[in-house]
Amino acid sequence: MTCRSSHRGCCQRRPLRSNSRAPGNVGFTVEVHDQAPPLDAVWEDVVEVSFRPASPHSTLMQWAGEACWDLGLEETDYRVRYCAKGMDQARREDTRMDDEPQLDSYLLQLWPAEPATDRVLKQTAAIAAYWHGYARERPPPPTPDERAEAERQARLRQEQDEREQRLALDCWQWGSRLPSQALRAVGGNVRGLRSFDPVLVHALDAAGPDVQRAVALLAARRACEAAGVACLDWIAAALTALAEGRPLPPPFDEPSLMWQTLARDPRVPQRTVGRPVPPQRPSSRPPALGTGCEPMPKPEQAPRPMGPAAAMNRQYAPGPPVPRTGAAPHVMAVTVGAPDPSLRMSQPHLALPAVTGAAEADPLRAALDAVYAAVATYGEDYPALLEEIRSVSAAGA
């Protein structure tokens, strides 16, 4: 095979090889011209079609990908002339060995030109006539305008599908009810509480600031009582400040000082609680739209590269392992699925975020954060807490 590229009178020629449909090699030449070249009478079968590259990297590739060559085509309209000779004889012989004479040859010529109708300029081979008949029976390809309209319609359908999937996922996550803008923007631990009781989250959103403040105070008080720290003077002072609508007193005004005070106070009880487990949600989650929390699939062995890719793969094979330096190791524990019931958490440490959460400037966030922290403080017994919170929220509403 020979590739010849002509631009502005320059001609470069280099030998190439290409596999035909049957085993063996064929003669193949590619020419790129500035204008339509004259047709050589030596060719027995000739067709012309219009062509526009879909990218700036048009290549000629052998059948099995053993080699390819860049044609240097621009993203513009071309006329393509495909010439052949010896097609029937080569088809009868089927396989050509390397030491046998070449039976068929092909020429591909391209030059810039406006799109035009496909033409059969010359027909000699029976196999060429067969494929011409097959091509005539095919429906005409879409025009550029039709293709652009089809792509536009496909994009619109995809965008509509994505919107519907997002709405379905929102409904599933928020308990079959879309959230208000306030819930979307509130931040904090709204998603944490939503996993335990999405209906309560909507109720708190609709309750109004006064009920939200009352719920936040109740959650903070119940959390401290469950942890056995409500009677400590510095925590009782914080609960009183919440009830009176005042800023939290020291040490709650400085997080690091708050935790230091908790650690140094000998009166703090050593109570622990298991992690609360949210109720199982209905299995109606939209499958087409993930949230980044899907289980990781089991690793599969990658297929071994074959052919030319195998040689390329060896170039990037990993080197020998790096010897250990004796540095201290890092240990990380990953929990997949429901929390381990044997894992216990300090209740006093879980209760204090309910106090600071209840002091948030936004009443809705104060209620959500305080209730979520109280749920963590109650641990396995959180259903009783949420039942009381629901009653207060409903009575206030």
- State how many domains the chain has: 3
Residue reference for tokens 């939200």: 212
Question: Which distant-in-sequence residues (6+ apart) come within 8 Å of 348 by Cβ?
Answer: 227, 228, 229, 262, 268, 269, 271
Partnered with residue 105 across adjacent β-strands are 27, 85
- How far apart CA 157 and CA 146 sit, in angstroms, is 16
Question: Is residue 192 a part of any domain in this protein?
Answer: yes
Residue reference for tokens 């690793």: 299
Question: Is residue 9 a part of any domain in this protein?
Answer: yes
Question: Is residue 329 a part of any domain in this protein?
Answer: no
SS3 3: strand
Give phi and psi for 71, each to the nearest 5: -90, -10
Question: Is residue 335 a part of any domain in this protein?
Answer: no
Q: What is the pLDDT of residue 18?
A: 39
- How far apart CA 24 and CA 95 sit, in angstroms, is 6
Q: What is the pLDDT of residue 340?
A: 64
Do 124 and 151 lie in one domain? The reply is: no
pLDDT tens for the chain, 397 residues long, are: 333 333 322 233 333 333 344 566 778 899 999 999 999 999 999 999 999 998 888 988 887 788 888 999 999 999 999 999 999 998 888 777 777 888 899 999 999 999 999 999 999 999 999 999 998 899 988 888 899 999 999 999 999 999 999 888 888 888 888 899 999 999 999 999 999 999 999 999 999 999 999 999 999 999 999 999 999 999 999 999 999 999 999 999 999 999 999 999 999 999 999 999 999 876 555 545 544 444 444 444 444 444 443 444 444 444 555 555 555 444 454 545 555 666 899 999 999 999 999 999 999 999 999 999 999 999 999 999 999 999 998 886 6
Q: What is the pLDDT of residue 15?
A: 34
Do 117 and 12 lie in one domain? The reply is: yes
Residue reference for tokens 């990658």: 302
Question: Is residue 296 a part of any domain in this protein?
Answer: no
Do 135 and 275 lie in one domain? The reply is: no
Do 76 and 206 lie in one domain? The reply is: no
Do 97 and 166 lie in one domain? The reply is: no
Q: What is the pLDDT of residue 19?
A: 37
Q: Which domain holds residue 187?
A: 183-280+343-396
**pTM (2 d.p.):** 0.55
Question: Is residue 318 a part of any domain in this protein?
Answer: no
Question: Is residue 323 a part of any domain in this protein?
Answer: no
- How far apart CA 140 and CA 329 sit, in angstroms, is 66
Question: Is residue 108 a part of any domain in this protein?
Answer: yes
Q: What is the pLDDT of residue 80?
A: 97
- Within the chain, where are the H helices? 87-93, 126-137, 144-173, 181-185, 190-196, 198-207, 209-227, 233-244, 255-264, 308-315, 347-358, 363-378, 382-396
Do 150 and 216 lie in one domain? The reply is: no
Do 19 and 91 lie in one domain? The reply is: yes
